[in-house]
Structure 1
């Protein structure tokens, strides 16, 4: 049987002291948790969660650039087309940037709570900069609203706030301060030069003395200035894509006192984009934006903000006029051509389609079979061969060598193309009444005279 050693008095006393200490510690901890639930009992900030996707108005007040200047107040509103800044002036907003502010407000998390009266001994609301706060974010949505005063920032990415003038102030993460107070308010605006979303129906540019006007009728585009002619569909598609996404390259200043300083009192160029809802977006392009490079100052008409656009942006918006012109000799679909008549000084040639064959008649004489490949090659030159050069000028009548008239199946004329040539072995030029010469290489084979067609038919 094991021997049991008697416990001495010192050990017994030590056990009792430890037991009493544990009991007292547990009681103090329980009392602290029950008496101070506001210290860290909940990280929730908003009594009702902010419906981020329903917020349709954001008001931000923040300090001015200097102590003497007034506070800056910026207001954003959301409509069917997205977010717009409506105060201090109206301009398209960057929806992503505005949403970041809304998310920062919705995601606030409290690490400390104090009743307002609890701050009295420590300097009150003045100490945490919430007595007369100079920064505030107010969010509004259908059926709801919340106003958040932004106070002093503390250490470790924390800051004081007060919501809806409640009797408590909170210490939260400083993400909202970062977005609403520290960020440049210009970053909340859209940088797009033409932020509209409706379909474009007209494009106008005045670049010095050169005025270009492109007009859409249904799905077809045409040029009305500097010449009335067919527009190149691919070039128009590129322009529309550029207009839809192009952005400026940096803000310069708001509310400029002297537009002449930026060359905008008398702009060097003006670009108008007209949309099918009647909206007209006008871009004013001013003087050089520096000693190096070919960038320019610019501003959107009606928006008091000057920004920079670089050389590549300018090239995209103001390409050579000729790049918008359809470079083919005619816009007629060759499948719609029933017959064509070629008039030259040597006589008249008529070429008729007969199902999959072609016939030839000279000076209203009898029709005889001719080379269908030769006719198709001529039609391809007129309808699908791109000119190597375009010149907007009057047709050189003294160089005219013939006229080709294309006729529909009902006999009506579809198009008349005049043909000119610099010399017997020079370049060709076509023109169909639009004042645009479309030049083709001298090597182009374009049979016009009766003898040329008779020889080919033998």
Structure 2
């Protein structure tokens, strides 16, 4: 084994001494005599950490669409209902996308710092595009604010920035540049068609000449056009769930002045969603959005942005009118019925509730016990059986075979249901004054005449 000579040993020792000295010199350059961390030479970017969860305003300035165009100013504010873009126009924002910008600003880490005066010999601030920057991100929160100028991007995912006009510039990771300068600003907007959060109290859709209006009345829903009738609350609840989450299929343009090009000057359909805080969200549906498929161009009134909605979305927003109508013969709770009267050409049948039994009287004759099962089956047909088909039309009086009036315990009438039948063995139809025929199969057993009740087992 070769021996290390005196000269080689001294050389190795000298190298070790120099290396250790450089390590301590480097550590000392990054340390402060007071607290151990010198902000001026550390990787720390913000003198005060950004409170990400408290930021309530984000201002972004970025280059315009062309070299000669003025920079674009975009402002987001956070309120009780989340983030909104307030400049250059008001529209709901995608809170997750805005938060990504805030996080990118908060997580900046410096790999190099230079005093502004040190840049004079190398072209100054102009060389790093920070003399008159056209890109900036400003974050505000209660009691605080920071402004970050975004300069030139360098190699290896790095970029120059300057914070709050300080006398130094920094090289940092370029995540903020990617979020604030490179990303499509439309991605910061919410894609939801109806972004409001307050409770919906009214829904209106105008599809050509057909206008459908649904209004909440306490816990129930009513249809007020094209007919005034009971609405199917379950169907409306499903539609409201769709409204709460439905999104468009992609942005097309912000050129609001070209509405006619997209069929939005005279829209094919209009949908209004009214909320209990007074807010009205209006969706305009325009012309076809392509040669293939049945998608449409659309826009939210007041927001100069055209987008696409696909065929499935259209079907969810513009279903058939009949799908909103309660398909049962009456909305009366059967437990509230004290007695019912059935009038036909053959005579009158009266059925009275008597505790847990029913009493039958024909043509004002004496009351006798009635078949409880048959009474309850009839009431179930009226109150619980869904029609197989709904038709919005006048009641066919020539086919009427009877009328059933339901009375409350105080004697007042609760509902009057007219009954029609196409023939002796045809389908049945019920109608209770709303102009909606609810059709039932011919096999439905509906005892109406005195003969149908007399001689039945008690």
Name whichever of 289-298 and 38-47 sits farther off.
38-47
Structure 2 counterpart of 1:132: 132
* CA 1:12–1:291: 2 relative to 1, 3 Å: closer
Task: Determine the C-alpha separation between the residues in 1 that align with 2:39 and 2:376.
Answer: 89
User: Which structure 2 segments of 5+ residues have no match?
Assistant: 32-37
Q: Runs of 5+ in structure 1 lacking a partner?
A: 1-7
Contact 1:93 1:190 (8 Å CA) reproduced: yes
CA deviation after TM superposition for structure 1 residue 456, in Å: 2.3
* Aligned-partner Cα distance in 1 for 2:393–2:26: 93
Residue 84, structure 1, aligned to residue 84, structure 2: yes
Give 2:145's aligned residue.
145
- Aligned partner of 2:376 in structure 1 is 376
Aligned pairs for 1:206-225 (under 5 A) are 206-225=206-225
Q: Whole-Å Cα distance in 1 between the matches of residues 455 and 435 of structure 2?
A: 34
Range moving further from structure 2, 113-122 or 103-112: 113-122
**TM-fit CA distance, 1:66:** 1.5
State whether residues 39 and 112 of structure 1, in contact with CA within 8 Å, keep that contact through their aligned partners in structure 2.
no
1:376–1:169 CA distance, 2 compared to 1 (3 A): same
Scaled by the length of structure 2, what TM-score is found?
Answer: 0.95
Matched, 1:281 2:281: yes
CA contact (8 A) 1:342 1:350 kept: yes
Q: Is the 8 A contact 1:232 1:324 kept in 2?
A: yes
Q: What is the alpha-carbon distance in structure 1 between the residues aligned to residue 406 and residue 281 of structure 2?
A: 41
Which piece of structure 1 moves more, 29-38 or 11-20? 29-38
For 1:3, the equivalent position in structure 2 comes to: none
Does 1:405 pair with 2:405? yes
Inter-CA distance 14–332: structure 2 relative to 1 (3 Å threshold): closer
Kindly indicate whether the alpha-carbon contact (under 8 Å) linking 1:56 and 1:78 is maintained by their aligned counterparts in 2: yes
Does the Cα contact within 8 Å between 1:128 and 1:160 map onto a contact in 2? Answer: yes
Matched, 1:195 2:184: no
Q: Per the alignment, do residues 103 and 367 of structure 1 end up closer, same or farther by CA in structure 2, a change over 3 Å counting?
A: same
**Cα distance 1:18–1:371, how it changes in 2: closer, same or farther (>3 A)?**
closer
Query: Which digits, 9 at most, give the CA deviation of each residue in 1:271-302, with x for residues without a partner?
Result: 00000011111000000000000000000000
The equivalent residue for 1:177 is 177
Q: Does the 8 Å contact 2:256/2:306 carry over to 1?
A: yes
In structure 2, the residue matched to 1:314 is 314
Partner in structure 1 of residue 298 of structure 2: 298
**Aligned 8 A contact 2:77 2:83 in 1:** yes
Contact kept, 8 Å, 2:29 with 2:41, in 1: the verdict is no
What's the secondary structure of 1:257's corresponding residue?
helix
| Alignment CA distance shift 1:42-1:378 (3 Å) | same
Q: How big is the shift at 1:172? A: 0.7
Q: How far apart, CA to CA, are the structure 2 residues paired with 1:246 and 1:44? A: 42
C-alpha displacement at 1:153, in angstroms? 1.0
Q: Which has the larger radius of gyration?
A: 1
| Contact persistence 1:428–1:442 (CA under 8 A) | yes
1:43 aligns with 2:39: no
Q: Distance in 2 between matches of 1:16 and 1:377?
A: 111
Query: Is the CA contact 2:447–2:453 (under 8 Å) kept in the aligned structure 1?
Result: yes
| 1:28 Cα deviation after fit | 5.4
Question: Offset of 1:349 from its aligned partner?
Answer: 0.3
CA spacing shift, 1:299–1:17, aligned 2, 3 Å: closer
**1:121 to partner: Cα distance:** 1.8
Provide Cα deviations, 1:321-343, integer angstroms capped at 9, x if missing partner.
00000000000111111110000
Deviations along 1:168-204, one digit per CA (max 9) or x if unpaired, are 1111111101110111000000011111111000000
> SS in structure 1 opposite 2:456?
helix
**Structure 1 residue 250, shift from structure 2 partner:** 0.3
Give runs of aligned pairs for residues 86-105 of structure 1, distance below 5 A.
86-105=86-105
Equivalent position of 1:323 in the other structure: 323
Structure 1 CA distance, aligned partners of 2:232 and 2:103?
46
Q: SS where residue 258 of structure 1 aligns?
A: helix
Output the TM-score relative to the length of structure 1: 0.95
SS of 1:49's equivalent? coil
Superposition RMSD in Å = 1.8
Deviating more after overlay: 220-229 vs 251-260? 251-260
**Aligned position for 1:54:** 54
Q: Aligned to 1:418, what secondary structure does the other structure show?
A: strand
C-alpha separation in 1, matches of 2:8 and 2:387: 108
SS in structure 2 of the partner of residue 314 of structure 1: helix
Q: CA deviation at 1:11?
A: 3.9
Determine the C-alpha separation between the residues in 2 that align with 1:426 and 1:35: 98
The Cα offsets for residues 416-451 of structure 1, whole Å up to 9 and x where unpaired, read as: 000001111111000000110000011111010001
